[in-house]
Amino acid sequence: MVVNRPLAHAEDHPVEILLVDSRQLVRAGVQRLLTDTGYLAVCGEASNCDDAIRLARSRRPQIILVNLPGSSVDVLDGARKLHRQFPDIRVLVLTDEADLIIQERLLQAGVAGCIGSSCSVDELFQAIDAVVRGERYISDSLAKKLAERRLPGQGASPFDQLTHRELQILLLVAEGLNTATIARNLCLTQKTVNGYRNRLLEKLKARTEVELMHLAAHHGLVRIPRLG
C-alpha cells in the first residue's frame, strides 16, 4: 500500500507516537503499519494508560494513540488522565462506534480526536495528520450521530445529567464489580460508593440496579452479551 506523506513531515523528523493497547499482537501490527509510512515512528508501547503516563514523561511523544477494547471506563478515565497530565500531547482515541456517550464525554474532556476502532487505514492516517496539525478529528459517522442528538425533537440521553464520577461508577457496576472493589479501585469509602449508587437510581428513576442496567443497555451505554 502506498501512503502519501504529508509535506510537513520527513523521514529525518518523524511524528513520534506512543501506542496504548492491551493486546501485544495488535500493537505489533499497528507499529509496523505506522513505521512503514516513513514519516511516523512509534516511540513507546503500553498496555494501559497508567503505563502510558509513565512512558510519556520520558518519551514525550507528539501523539498518544489509545485503543483499549472491552472496558469503557478504562478508556474514559485513561484518556482524561493523559490529556490532563500532558495537555501539549495530542490524544487520539479509537473506540467502538456504538459508544456514543463515551465518545462525547471524551471530546468534552479535551481529547484531540475520536475515531471508530473499525476505521480504515486511510482514515487512521487522516486522523493522525489532522491532530498533528493541531486540529480535532471526529469521524464522519460520529459527527453525524452527535449532530442528530442535538436536533429538535430528539430526546436527550438520560445519562447526560450524570457527573463524571456517577458515570464512572455506573460503568463499573455494569462490569459486575461490587461496592468493595469499586471503592478500592477509585480510592473511595464503601459508604461513598453506595451513596453514588443510590444517587444513580434516583437520577435515572430506576427502582433496582437490574432496571438500571437495562436502561443503560437500551441507550447503548453498555452491552449485555448474548448467550449461545
Bridge partners (DSSP) of residue 42 are 17
pLDDT at res. 224: 58
pLDDT at res. 153: 59
Cβ 206 vs Cβ 212: under 8 Å: yes
Q: Determine if the pTM surpasses 0.95.
A: no
For the chain, domain boundaries: 15-148, 158-218
Query: CA–CA separation, 7 vs 27, rounded Å?
Result: 27
Q: Which residues of 149-162 are buried (b: 16+ CB within 10 A; e: fewer)?
A: eeeeeeeeebbeeb
Ranges of the chain whose pLDDT falls below 50: 1-3, 5, 7-8, 227-228
Cβ 136 vs Cβ 192: under 8 Å: no
The dotted CATH code for 15-148 is 3.40.50.2300
Q: Which of 159, 156, 191, 155 is nearest to 174 (CA)?
A: 159
Query: CA–CA separation, 181 vs 173, rounded Å?
Result: 10
The dotted CATH code for 158-218 is 1.10.10.10
3-state helix, strand, coil in the chain (%, to 5): 50, 15, 35
Query: CA–CA separation, 68 vs 89, rounded Å?
Result: 18
Give 144-167 pLDDT, tens digit per residue.
Answer: 888 877 666 565 678 888 999 999
Query: CA–CA separation, 43 vs 60, rounded Å?
Result: 9
What single letter denotes the amino acid at residue 110? G
pLDDT at res. 214: 86
